[in-house]
Amino acid sequence: MSETTPTTKSRIGALADPAVRRDLMSKVAPEPGSGKPDAILKVDNITRQFGGITAVDVEHLEVQRGIITALIGPNGAGKTTFFNLITGFDRPTSAGQGAHWSFDGATLDKTSASRVARSGMVRTFQLTKALSRMTVMDNMMLGAQGQAGENLAKCLFRPFWTAQEKDVEQKALGLLERFKLLEKRTDYAGSLSGGQRKLLEMARALMSDPKMIMLDEPMAGVNPALTQSLLGHIQSLRDEGTTVLFVEHDMHVVRHISDWVVVMAEGRLVAEGPADTVMSNQAVIDAYLGAHHDTDLGDDALLSDETLEQLEKEVAEEDAHREEERHADGAAHGEEERA
Residue 292: the pLDDT is: 45
Query: Which pLDDT belongs to residue 1?
Result: 41
Contacts for 31 with CB less than 8 Å, ≥ 6 apart: 271, 272, 273
pLDDT digits (tens, 9 = 90+) for 25-34: 999 999 999 9
Asked whether the predicted pLDDT for residue 3 surpasses 60, the reply is no
Over residues 32-38, the mean pLDDT reads: 94
- Listed range (133-142, 156-165, 312-321) with the worst mean pLDDT: 312-321
pLDDT digits (tens, 9 = 90+) for 171-213: 999 999 988 899 999 999 999 888 888 889 989 999 989 999 9
5 or 37, greater pLDDT: 37
Class in CATH terms, 1-130+208-294? alpha beta
More confident residue, 86 or 280: 86
Which pLDDT band, with edges at 50, 70 and 90, does 289 fall under?
Answer: low
Sheet with 100-103, side-by-side order of all strands: 53-64, 39-50, 100-103, 106-107
Mean of pLDDT over the chain: 83
Which runs of consecutive H residues, i.e. helices, occur in the chain?
A: 6-14, 18-25, 79-86, 113-118, 136-142, 162-178, 194-206, 224-239, 251-257, 275-279, 282-289, 305-338
Which of 187-201, 291-305, 325-339 has the weakest average pLDDT? 291-305
Highest mean pLDDT among 11-15, 65-69, 166-170, 188-192: 65-69
